[in-house]
């Protein structure tokens, strides 16, 4: 027989807790199924609602990128300060321990290398069976909206959403910016909204002017892409600005693993994303952690 007072207290607490009352902590996800919500909760921390994804999928297009020459050595020191591995199945299987408990955003599109004239040609490169085998928390699929090959990109996103829906696995739609592609607010609004409308449950996009309007017109959570290496202070300011404008986290690679001190940088990014630290303090925190 439950202690009725204790039970009522629990109920009162539950009614104040949006995670338990149906107001799910991930934007646009209220009506998804249990398994999909569980996977989203392994990506977006239910307390902060946010995520730090470490992108180290660069090899699929660039080969051994600076800072990632030895995947095992580069990534293992960062385990404690990130939530999600964004990587290829080859990198994960060969170099990363499956015992970390981290969620996996599995890179599922591929098709060209940095040597190609037109890098926008991609196809789905992982079967849903293998994604399930890899325990993927989401399928990361890149889309080149506005490129001559956009129909293939759109098809890839739609196919991945269809396959993911069969197993409750969300899709991370990745907005690509190629050499000839736009980087305007209007472009990012268009591309992010399109990917969400095709059914991507999370969208990765770049920071831009009036990022808030990109967040506001996209019905699913946006995670900010890191992009090329910036000075650490600037990368932290960009992170803080995106979070203030409604991003639900970052999917960042080079600005973490190419930082002078990658561990200190991961800690500082996490302090902004999960702890709400401002960029000035986060940079001091970075310098302080780096010294130790």
- The nearest distance, CB 190 to ligand R5P, in angstroms, is 17
For ligand R5P, the closer of residues 230 and 287 by Cβ is 230
Q: Which residue has the tokens 């909204």?
A: 193
Judged by CB under 6 A, how many residues of this single chain contact ligand R5P?
Answer: 14
Contacts to ligand R5P from residues 144-203, by CB under 6 A: 174, 176
CA distance readout (Å), 183 to 160, 180, 208: 25, 10, 8
Closest among 277, 264, 86 to 174, alpha carbons compared: 86
For ligand R5P, the closer of residues 37 and 279 by Cβ is 279
CA distance readout (Å), 159 to 30, 126, 173, 246: 23, 12, 12, 28
Interaction between residue 254 and ligand R5P (CB under 6 A): yes
Out of 27, 204, 280, 290, the active site residue is 204
- The nearest distance, CB 172 to ligand R5P, in angstroms, is 9
For ligand R5P, the closer of residues 174 and 266 by Cβ is 174
For ligand R5P, the closer of residues 220 and 256 by Cβ is 256
- The nearest distance, CB 86 to ligand R5P, in angstroms, is 6
Residues in Cβ contact with 199 at an 8 Å cutoff, skipping those fewer than 6 apart: 157, 158, 161, 165, 171
Tell me how far apart the alpha carbons of residues 179 and 210 are, in angstroms, rounded to a whole number: 22
Local structure of 124: helix, strand or coil? strand
Residues in Cβ contact with 190 at an 8 Å cutoff, skipping those fewer than 6 apart: 145, 146
Tell me how far apart the alpha carbons of residues 141 and 125 are, in angstroms, rounded to a whole number: 9
Binding segment for ligand R5P (CB under 6 A), chosen from 26-34, 152-160, 225-233, 271-279, is: 225-233
For ligand R5P, the closer of residues 207 and 267 by Cβ is 207
Confirm whether 204 is a catalytic residue: yes
- The nearest distance, CB 43 to ligand R5P, in angstroms, is 15
Residue nearest to ligand R5P (CB): 226
Q: Which region, left, alpha or beta, applies to residue 93 given φ > 0 means left and ψ of -120 to 50 means alpha?
A: alpha
Interaction between residue 122 and ligand R5P (CB under 6 A): no
Residues in Cβ contact with 167 at an 8 Å cutoff, skipping those fewer than 6 apart: 35, 128, 131, 132
Binding mask 33-62 for ligand R5P (x = CB under 6 A): ----------------------x-xx----
Binding site for ligand R5P (CB under 6 A): 55, 57-58, 142, 174, 176, 225-227, 251-255
């Amino acid at each position: 027989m439950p202690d009725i007072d204790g039970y009522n207290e629990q109920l009162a607490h539950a009614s104040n807790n949006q995670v338990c009352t149906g107001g799910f902590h991930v934007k646009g996800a209220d009506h998804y199924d249990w398994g999909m919500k569980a996977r989203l909760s392994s990506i977006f921390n239910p307390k902060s609602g946010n995520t730090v994804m470490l992108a180290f999928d660069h090899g699929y297009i660039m080969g051994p990128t600076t800072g990632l020459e030895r995947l095992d050595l580069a990534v293992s020191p960062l385990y404690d300060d990130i939530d999600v591995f964004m990587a290829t199945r080859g990198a994960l299987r060969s170099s990363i321990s499956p015992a970390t408990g981290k969620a996996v955003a599995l890179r599922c599109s591929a098709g060209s290398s940095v040597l190609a004239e037109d890098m926008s040609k991609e196809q789905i490169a992982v079967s849903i069976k293998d994604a399930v085998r890899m325990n993927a928390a989401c399928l990361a699929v890149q889309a080149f909206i506005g490129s001559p090959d956009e129909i293939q990109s759109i098809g890839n996103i739609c196919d991945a959403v269809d396959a993911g829906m069969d197993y409750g696995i969300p899709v991370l739609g990745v907005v690509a910016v190629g050499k000839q592609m736009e980087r305007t607010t209007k472009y990012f609004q268009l591309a992010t909204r399109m990917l969400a409308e095709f059914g991507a449950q999370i969208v990765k996009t770049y920071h831009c002017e009036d990022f808030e309007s990109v967040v506001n017109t996209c019905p699913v959570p946006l995670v900010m892409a890191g992009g090329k290496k910036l000075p650490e202070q600037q990368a932290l300011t960009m992170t803080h600005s995106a979070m203030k404008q409604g991003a639900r986290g970052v999917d960042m690679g080079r600005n973490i693993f190419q930082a002078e001190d990658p561990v200190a940088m991961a800690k500082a990014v996490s302090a902004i994303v999960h702890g709400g630290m401002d960029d000035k303090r986060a940079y001091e925190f970075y310098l302080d952690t780096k010294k130790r």
